């Protein structure tokens, strides 16, 4: 009887249940838990009539080689309606000027705007986008980067599938190069998936993919970047945060709608994160995001620690229920989080091995701390466009 009471000790059972519940909570905090469905190619192909005219706007700063590689792909889209590509660039870059002259002679739908030499109290990127949107002769504007290009000539047609009377803003996806470090691919996919899921439920607040579209009238009526002129970067986040909430937002995640980014340097990757940390508190919805990411990062560690403590305690005290529950909790955490990440990894076609996915999830916490440390060390003046 004593052995039976020892075996079914209510305290041990309570501890065992708690360990399992912590593991389940750690799984439920995964941003991969939500489901997104890829658009169907046949649906996109059907709608090739009555597509609106479109303008593609991008800003190029000392990126002559990148423009030479990627811009022709944007200029050679098989779009059934009219479209124009507007490149905003710096006047004093002779290489870019020569390239633009060559391309303009070949592509009549390419337009070039040269920026003034100075832009006080406004970042050059925001100024470039503003000038590009103002110059556009169409209602729908697609905004992207010179470092991005589609892999399909029907990319613009696929994007235009979403440009209807009931939609005012479209968020797309930009995939990283397969040469990008695996953790970068994982982090980018996780954050993009989280943001796209939010946009799907009409709670768009940010994007990490330079592949968005909006109506010119909405941008002009609300004075463009008026509410965030003091920040040097964050133009895509601010556009989503400012305008996606004012209208119905659609997401473009069919593979034909993807853009593909060139490989980034370590400095570019670091700047991407420190700039986001500089503007994050100004974005509506950032509190919910930070809370979710906090528990997403923290709970797996709590689950792992409690599971190992349970395993050690179960062995030392011969509490087999505690031992089995702790092993079960650890397996649930690893297997379920891996399966969820694998589903999204496959959906977004990342070249990340399944066996490493859980370790990338665990590493996310330390990378986040590293980004914050780099931001704290950075000169805060560099994040402002109001430099003296």
Token pair belonging to 364: 């996310």
My answer on whether 137 and 205 are in the same domain is yes
Same domain, 103 and 53: yes
CB of 156 closer than 8 Å to CB of 83: yes
Residue 163 pLDDT > 80: yes
C-beta of residue 210 within 8 angstroms of C-beta of residue 148: yes
Shared domain check, 83 and 151: yes
Residues 176 and 47 in one domain: yes
What was the pLDDT predicted at 120? Answer: 60
> Could you read off the pLDDT of 290-338 as tens digits, one per residue?
999 999 999 999 999 999 999 999 999 888 899 999 999 999 999 999 9
Confidence grade of residue 170 (pLDDT, cut at 50, 70, 90): very high
Same domain, 270 and 306: no
Query: In this structure, how many other beta carbons lie within 10 angstroms of the beta carbon of residue 227?
Result: 12
48, burial (CB in 10 Å: exposed 0-12, middle 13-18, buried 19+) = middle
Domain hosting residue 374, numbered range = 2-33+288-383
How many domains are there within the chain? 2
The two three-digit tokens of residue 288, written as one number: 């919910």
Strands 110-115 and 83-90: parallel
Q: Which H, E and C letters describe 244-301, residue by residue?
A: HHHCCEEEECCHHHCEEECCCCHHHHHHHHHHHHHHHHHCCCHHHHHHHHHHHHHHHH
Residue 45 pLDDT greater than 90, yes or no: no
Task: Kindly state whether residue 388 falls inside one of the protein's structural domains.
Answer: no
Same domain, 336 and 189: no
Give the tokens for residue 354.
Answer: 């399944």
CB-based contact 182:360 (threshold 8 Å)? yes
pLDDT band, residue 78 (cuts 50/70/90) = very high
Same domain, 307 and 270: no
Q: The tokens of 62 are what?
A: 């000392």
Query: Predicted confidence band at 388 (pLDDT cuts at 50, 70, 90)?
Result: very low
Could you tell me if 156 and 264 lie in one domain?
yes
Of residues 106 and 233, more confidently modeled: 106
């Amino acid at each position: 009887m004593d052995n039976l009471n020892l075996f079914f000790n209510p305290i041990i059972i309570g501890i065992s249940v708690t360990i399992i519940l912590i593991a389940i909570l750690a799984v439920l905090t995964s941003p991969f838990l939500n489901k997104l469905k890829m658009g169907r190619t046949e649906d996109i192909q059907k709608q090739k009539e009555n597509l609106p005219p479109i303008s593609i706007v991008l800003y190029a700063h000392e990126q002559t080689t990148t423009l030479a590689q990627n811009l022709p792909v944007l200029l050679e889209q098989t779009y059934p309606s009219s479209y124009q590509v507007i490149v905003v660039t710096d006047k004093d870059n002779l290489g870019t000027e020569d390239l633009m002259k060559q391309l303009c002679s070949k592509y009549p739908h390419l337009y070039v705007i040269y920026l003034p030499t100075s832009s006080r109290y406004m970042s050059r990127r925001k100024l470039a986008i503003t000038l590009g949107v103002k110059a556009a002769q169409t209602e729908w504007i697609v905004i992207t980067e010179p470092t991005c290009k589609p892999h399909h000539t029907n990319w613009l047609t696929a994007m235009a599938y979403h440009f209807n009377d009931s939609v005012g803003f479209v968020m797309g996806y930009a995939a990283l190069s397969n040469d990008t470090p695996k953790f970068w691919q994982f982090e980018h996919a996780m954050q993009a998936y989280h943001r796209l899921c939010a946009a799907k439920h009409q709670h768009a607040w940010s994007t990490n993919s330079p592949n968005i579209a909006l109506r010119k009238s909405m941008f002009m009526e609300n004075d463009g970047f008026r509410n965030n002129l003091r920040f040097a970067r964050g133009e895509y986040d601010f556009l989503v945060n400012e305008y996606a909430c004012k209208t119905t937002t659609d997401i473009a995640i069919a593979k034909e709608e993807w853009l593909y980014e060139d490989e980034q340097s370590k400095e570019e990757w670091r700047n991407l994160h420190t700039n986001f940390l500089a503007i994050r508190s100004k974005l509506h919805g950032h509190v919910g995001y930070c809370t979710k990411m906090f528990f997403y990062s923290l709970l797996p560690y709590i689950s792992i620690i409690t599971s190992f403590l349970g395993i050690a305690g179960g062995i030392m005290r011969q509490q087999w229920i505690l031992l089995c529950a702790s092993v079960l909790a650890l397996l649930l955490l690893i297997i379920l989080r891996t399966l969820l990440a694998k589903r999204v990894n496959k959906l977004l076609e990342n070249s990340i091995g399944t066996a490493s996915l859980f370790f990338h999830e665990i590493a996310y916490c330390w990378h986040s701390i590293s980004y914050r440390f780099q931001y704290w060390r950075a000169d805060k003046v560099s994040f402002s466009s109001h430099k003296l």
